[in-house]
């Protein structure tokens, strides 16, 4: 039987990177301390911020909300029902249950109610994943801006980041590489986006939510089959299994050398439909969903400024 490195109690997990065994108490401490260090290292949050946590019903998003709650941060949550049949309904139900259990206010947006169709219900040549990502980013940001939140936290973890990084390097997507990292700064009508789980793997997060018996949606989105990011993730997992710590070294090395990938000077306009930042006269969201007037996502939120 393996014993905890710090107290000698029965080990809950045996980690390969860093190499040590930890009991339940010290594993929770390890994960939450790592999240806290990431938040401070990258200056993700500061006094006066209004924080919104995006929850999808998956383990990563729920772990983000759970850890931030345990660490004493004040925030509210947002769930977007994407209209993908039973998958979306299960995701919404679990998000509701867990936010209620944690005592966190949850806001829910229903894509079908907002634009008349869900993901996968649009006649287009575009793959559902391509416009789903754009749709989620827009709605998260629009909701945050409309309701006074200036920071959005998502559940992107180390596995996600290394897969995205590998894909962008393979295709030399220089503009994406210049902006990839643990935080995207805020600007006019653009909330700051942070990734508190940036240095935690899928396995780390699974073990963390298991500590609290947190149920989550295990099944991937039915439209994700064949996604290149899944392929890149599998390749990187093989490398990590043979050489623990490779993923973390990969992203840390990238961040040290990110200046090698200069960003383009992009001048954003104001979408003539919704008024949000846009590369063209009409933003990608309004153009794809064929909107002729802006969505009003403002809700009655009472903030305690005492």
DSSP 187-233: BTTB-EEE-TTTT--HHHHHHHHHHTT-----SPPTT-TT-HHHHHH
Lowest mean pLDDT, pick from 11-25, 99-113, 163-177, 252-266: 252-266
The mean pLDDT of 205-217, rounded to a whole number, is 97
Domains, the chain: 33-265 (3.40.50.620)
Question: What pLDDT sits at residue 175?
Answer: 83
Quote the mean pLDDT of the chain.
Answer: 95
Kindly state the percentage of the chain with pLDDT values over 90: 88
Per-residue pLDDT band for 265 (boundaries 50, 70, 90) equals confident
Cβ–Cβ under 8 Å, residues 265 and 256:
no
Question: What pLDDT sits at residue 301?
Answer: 54
- Which pLDDT tens digit goes with each residue over 179-197? 899 999 999 999 999 999 9
Q: Would you put residue 160 in left (φ > 0), alpha (ψ -120 to 50) or beta?
A: alpha
Name the residue among 286, 288, 290, 258 with its Cα closest to residue 273.
286
Name the residue among 185, 204, 251, 249 with its Cα closest to residue 67.
204
End-to-end CA distance of the chain: 50
Tokens linked to 222: 């039915």
Distance CA 50, CA 67 (A): 17
Tokens linked to 20: 């040590």
C-alpha neighbours within 13 Å on the C-beta side of residue 156? 20
CB atoms within 10 A of CB 128: 20
Cβ–Cβ under 8 Å, residues 79 and 86:
no
C-alpha neighbours within 13 Å on the C-beta side of residue 260? 9
Would you say residue 306 has pLDDT above 50? no
Query: Under 8 Å CB-to-CB from 224, ≥6 apart: which residues?
Result: 129, 230
Would you say residue 246 has pLDDT above 80? yes
């Amino acid at each position: 039987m393996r014993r905890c490195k710090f107290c000698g109690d029965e080990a809950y997990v045996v980690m390969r990177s860093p190499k040590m065994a930890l009991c339940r108490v010290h594993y929770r401490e390890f994960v939450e301390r790592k999240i806290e260090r990431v938040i401070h290292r990258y200056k993700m949050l500061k006094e006066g911020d209004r924080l919104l946590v995006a929850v999808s019903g998956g383990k990563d998003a729920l772990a983000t909300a759970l850890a931030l709650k345990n660490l004493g941060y004040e925030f509210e949550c947002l769930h977007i029902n994407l209209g993908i049949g039973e998958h979306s309904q299960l995701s919404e139900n679990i998000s509701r249950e867990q936010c209620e259990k944690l005592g966190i206010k949850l806001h829910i947006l229903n894509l079908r109610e907002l634009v008349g169709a869900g993901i996968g219900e649009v006649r287009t040549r575009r793959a559902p994943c391509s416009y789903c990502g754009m749709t989620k980013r827009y709605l998260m940001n629009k909701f945050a801006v409309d309701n006074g939140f200036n920071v959005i936290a998502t559940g992107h973890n180390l596995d996600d980041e290394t897969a995205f990084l590998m894909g962008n390097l393979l295709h030399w997507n220089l503009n994406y590489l210049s902006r990839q990292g643990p935080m995207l700064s805020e600007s006019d009508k653009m909330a700051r986006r942070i990734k508190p789980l940036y240095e935690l793997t899928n396995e780390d997060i699974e073990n963390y939510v298991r500590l609290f018996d947190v149920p989550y949606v295990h099944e991937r989105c039915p439209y994700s089959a064949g996604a290149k990011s899944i392929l890149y993730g599998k390749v990187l997992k093989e490398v990590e299994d043979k050489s623990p710590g490779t993923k973390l070294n990969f992203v840390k090395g990238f961040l040290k050398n990110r200046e090698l990938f200069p960003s383009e000077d992009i001048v954003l306009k104001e979408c003539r439909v919704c008024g949000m930042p846009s590369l063209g006269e009409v933003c990608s969201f309004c153009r794809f969903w064929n909107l002729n007037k802006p969505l009003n996502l403002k809700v009655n939120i009472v903030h305690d400024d005492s």
